[in-house]
Structure 1
Amino acid sequence: MKTIYALIAALLWSCAVLGAEEMSPVGLWQTFGEANGKPKSLIEISLNNGALQGKILELYEPEVANPVCDKCDGDKKNQPIIGLAFLWGLKPDGARWRDGHILDPENGKVYSASAELKAQGQQLEVRGFIGFSFVGRSQIWQRYQP
């Protein structure tokens, strides 16, 4: 009988852990083209010193082979897009992540950023903005299911 209780407890614990992981933005995400809705890139979001950061793992249909961030400034100037840390500093604030930054590799501009999980952790709404959050744009990323 103790074995059955231990098995049930282990099963419940593992379900709780899996549920908690799904409600975290940490993991792999697909982005989609705004014009055509087709998958555009694969992003890895990780936790670094309590803040989220994201890097580009793959571009599905790049316009040129091995693109670089030629419009970026500073240490990101002419860095390969693949492997580029383009999202950083998002800190938890309840169900949202705030006070971060996001780089648009297409124009080299850095925007303030926030993110919020949606659809039971299967979607991530990422918002880039200048100044106030209502002056910007959002994208919905889908959790990657290989």
Structure 2
Amino acid sequence: MLKRLLSFLLLVGLLLTVATTIQAAPNPDAVIGVWKNGEGTGMVQIYKRGDKYYGRIVWLKVANNPDGTPRTDVNNPDETKRKNKLKGLENMREFTQIEESKWENGKIYDPKNGSDYSCEMTLTDPNTLEVRGFIGVSLFGRTDVWKRQIAKK
């Protein structure tokens, strides 16, 4: 009986050791989810379409104008788009995953000034995303730290 118990405990210990040394497979879609920007003024849902990643605005701290109407893309350089609602606007486009925790070659649109920037994203931990917008080379840009709000389902 004691011999059987010791064998069982040894087997359990061996299985636990093996289980803790095996690392989980990396999640290629780890960036998918809802993220709040560093200012806390908006949330963007990042999703995958085909083999590229995109984002759209799903929440705004100030969702409406003073008259109660939904905020629109008033700073867009294309006059035909200035009446488009900000909520639901696809503001991140065509990111490609290049490493386990890095997505590059994308574009990000800033509705505050109506400008489009080159962009890259780096997942620094499961709930923190560094989003770097830049013109030309990444050296000349700005990084915003986003926090995960809702994980991918």
TM-score in same-fold range (> 0.5):
yes
One-letter amino acid of the structure 1 residue matched with residue 88 of structure 2: G
**1:93 pairs with 2:98:** yes
Q: Percent identity?
A: 27
- The alpha carbon displacement at 1:72 in A equals 1.1
- The alpha carbon displacement at 1:145 in A equals 4.7
- The alpha carbon displacement at 1:45 in A equals 0.4
Paired position in structure 2 for 1:20: 27
One-letter amino acid of the structure 2 residue matched with residue 125 of structure 1: E
Paired position in structure 1 for 2:45: 44
TM-score, normalised to structure 1, is 0.76
Paired position in structure 2 for 1:9: none
Residue number among 64, 67, 71 corresponding to 1:67 in the alignment: 71
Aligned partner of residue 112 in structure 2, secondary structure: coil
Map residues 83-122 of structure 1 onto 2, 5 A cutoff.
83-94=88-99, 95-119=101-125, 121-122=126-127
Contact 1:72 1:78 in 2 (8 A): no
Alpha carbons of 1:87 and 1:80: their partners in 2 closer, same or farther (altered >3 Å)? Answer: same
- The alpha carbon displacement at 1:73 in A equals 3.3
One-letter amino acid of the structure 2 residue matched with residue 116 of structure 1: T
TM-score, normalised to structure 2, is 0.73
Paired position in structure 2 for 1:143: 148
Paired position in structure 2 for 1:134: 139
One-letter amino acid of the structure 2 residue matched with residue 70 of structure 1: V
Contact 2:33 2:150 in 1 (8 A): no
Q: Which runs of 5+ in 1 are unaligned?
A: 1-11, 34-38
Post-superposition, which runs of at least 4 consecutive aligned residues in structure 1 deviate over 3 A? 73-77
Paired position in structure 2 for 1:124: 129
Which protein is bigger by CA-based radius of gyration? 2
Aligned partner of residue 68 in structure 1, secondary structure: coil
**How many residues get paired?**
126
- The alpha carbon displacement at 1:70 in A equals 1.3
Contact 2:63 2:87 in 1 (8 A): no
- The alpha carbon displacement at 1:48 in A equals 0.9
Instruction: After superposition, give the CA deviation of every residue in 1:99-146 in whole Å (9 maximum; x if it has no partner).
Output: 000000011000000001012x11010010000001010100000059
One-letter amino acid of the structure 2 residue matched with residue 54 of structure 1: G
